[in-house]
Amino acid sequence: MEKKWNEEESLRLISEMIAQAKNNLRQEDAFSYLLIGYGLVITSVLDAILLHLLNPSYLAHWSWALMAPVIFYSFYKGRKDDRQAAVRTHIDAITGGVWRAFMWAMGIMFLLLSGFSLVLNDWNLLLLITPAILTLTGFAQFITAVACRYKPFYWGAAVFWIGALACLFYFYLTGEDSGQYLIFALCVVGGFILPGHQLNRKAKQNV
């Protein structure tokens, strides 16, 4: 015979599920934010340095290929953690979907800017890649903050958006773009790494 739940038991069950879902989110995101965050910082700083050392300088951008195994492993571990999670809620589905859409949007944006640059024979359009990535990252971070109600994500989104504007002012003042990668690195520290460490501390507290 199916057990009937009274109001008190139902509320307690819902509260336990919400608490467990939040804990799962923190454990998964702490690792992903830190892994991808540190990878992005190292790669962007390396790109900025190699731009001044290599000839032709555009070869420095191949350093971003180092992020491919990092992102692949992060997604692999994320999917594995999803399958092992005790509770999977619509919030988990939303946040996962947001970041998958973010990756598709970045790929399409890169193809569009590269395509227009080729057709118009104006490679200055590629200067928009870094601020566009920062803008899209801030968007995804903000949606995640709304879904998870986690304040550091709001601050992280603001950091990425401010960084996108900083790229414009930097280029206006200096006329060169290598500093954009250092701005990007600083934004990742403020938008990914610091929130990631906060998530990690919360995860340990809930173990």
Give the residue from 18, 33, 15 showing the smallest Cα distance to 199.
33
**Alpha-carbon span 6 to 46, nearest angstrom:** 60
**Alpha-carbon span 163 to 159, nearest angstrom:** 6
Least reliable range by pLDDT among 9-13, 43-47, 52-56, 167-171: 9-13
Q: Express as a percent the part of the chain with pLDDT over 90.
A: 27
Q: What is the pTM of this model?
A: 0.79
Residue pair 190/43 in contact (Cβ under 8 Å)? The answer is no
**Alpha-carbon span 47 to 53, nearest angstrom:** 10
What confidence tens digit (pLDDT) does each residue in 39-67 have? Answer: 999 999 998 898 888 888 778 878 888 88
Q: Which residues contact 126 (CB under 8 A, 6 or more apart)?
A: 113, 114, 117
Q: Is the pLDDT of residue 8 over 80?
A: no
Q: Is the pLDDT of residue 159 over 90?
A: yes
The two three-digit tokens of residue 182, written as one number: 């250092």
User: DSSP characters for 54-76?
Assistant: SSSGGGGGGGGGGHHHHHHHHHH
Q: Express as a percent the part of the chain with pLDDT over 70.
A: 77
What pLDDT was estimated at residue 87?
54
**DSSP tag of 125:** G
Please give the radius of gyration of the chain, using alpha carbons only, rounded to the nearest integer.
20
What confidence tens digit (pLDDT) does each residue in 75-134 have? Answer: 777 677 666 655 566 777 788 788 889 989 988 998 998 888 888 888 788 888 899 999
**Alpha-carbon span 143 to 204, nearest angstrom:** 25
Q: Is the pLDDT of residue 2 over 60?
A: no
The two three-digit tokens of residue 41, written as one number: 């910082």
